[in-house]
Structure 1
């Protein structure tokens, strides 16, 4: 592994101090992922066994976690590590753990606007949708429409909603 740039060392220290990397290591351990050093001071954790979140890879601090092997993941998407590298920086800019609820809000807003958790998510867009393996969904208010339909079903015919949930 080559030496880290000053910026990469700063990111590594910041994500350690802001507790996002320790949380990432804890999540990787809980999911029985095997850890190894990765590019740019990242830690790669592969073989993650917990089915949440449903993603090819996700980053917590400087830890990139995947249920797959990274060589397979990178073979299918050569730019995925560039995408995850940006997420590691986003933890720094958000002060660490506040990134998680901010990301959840951005994913919810994206779903409401596009029906997809990534397309309108400012964090995913900044990291590069295509680099992360995402396709851009158009703004369609699909999530808003889904909620409106469910609300209408609930208010007009609550039994129908109960039947749909079976």
Structure 2
């Protein structure tokens, strides 16, 4: 672990973002282990939200998969590590509502929560396995969203 990675680990612990990640992992019954470069992995995360292969809170990367998933996905780990730097730069938890706003903006512009999300773009869309979608008219985005809602099977 480099000096700056150690600083990020300490700052993301003090700003409570990593602790929040640990609490989310425990609530999702995930197993926490050490990862590379001051990161931690939380594997076996059970809730269905968020819908992502992995997501980061502080220095903790959460996934429903097992640890081998990270070893097979070095680009994804780099992508998620960049998110941990975003928590560092935004002094922790303000990242969560800012990310939500950026995802909403991206969805309105493209129908995809990642394509125009500044945080995903800065973390490298391709490394996060995202496909970039073009900007489209708002009417088309809303039409697609309503069509998806109507065609989704209802749970009882």
Aligned to 2:109: 113
Aligned to 2:7: 10
**Would you say 1:83 and 2:94 are equivalent positions?**
no
User: 1:70, CA displacement in angstroms?
Assistant: 3.3
Q: CA RMSD in A?
A: 2.1
User: 1:38, CA displacement in angstroms?
Assistant: 0.2
Give structure 1 stretches of 5+ with no counterpart. 154-162
Q: Distance between the aligned counterparts of 2:44 and 2:92, measured in 1? A: 24
Aligned to 1:96: 92
Runs of 4+ that moved beyond 2 A: 72-75, 146-150, 163-166
Q: Distance between the aligned counterparts of 2:151 and 2:33, measured in 1? A: 45
Give structure 2 stretches of 5+ with no counterpart. none
Match of 2:67 among 66, 70, 89: 70
TM-score (norm 2): 0.88
Q: Distance between the aligned counterparts of 1:78 and 1:164, measured in 2? A: 36
Taking structure 1 as reference, are residues 74 and 119 closer, same or farther at Cα in structure 2, changes over 3 Å only? farther
The question of whether the paired residues in 1 share the 8 Å contact of 2:110 and 2:141 is answered with no
Match of 2:33 among 24, 33, 36: 36
Aligned to 1:145: 139
User: 1:74, CA displacement in angstroms?
Assistant: 4.4
Which digits, 9 at most, give the CA deviation of each residue in 1:114-140, with x for residues without a partner?
Answer: 100000000000000000010101111
Aligned to 1:129: 125
The question of whether the paired residues in 1 share the 8 Å contact of 2:56 and 2:83 is answered with yes
Aligned to 2:16: 19
Q: Distance between the aligned counterparts of 2:136 and 2:62, measured in 1? A: 31
Q: May I ask how many residue pairs the two structures share in their alignment?
A: 149
Q: Distance between the aligned counterparts of 2:27 and 2:139, measured in 1? A: 37
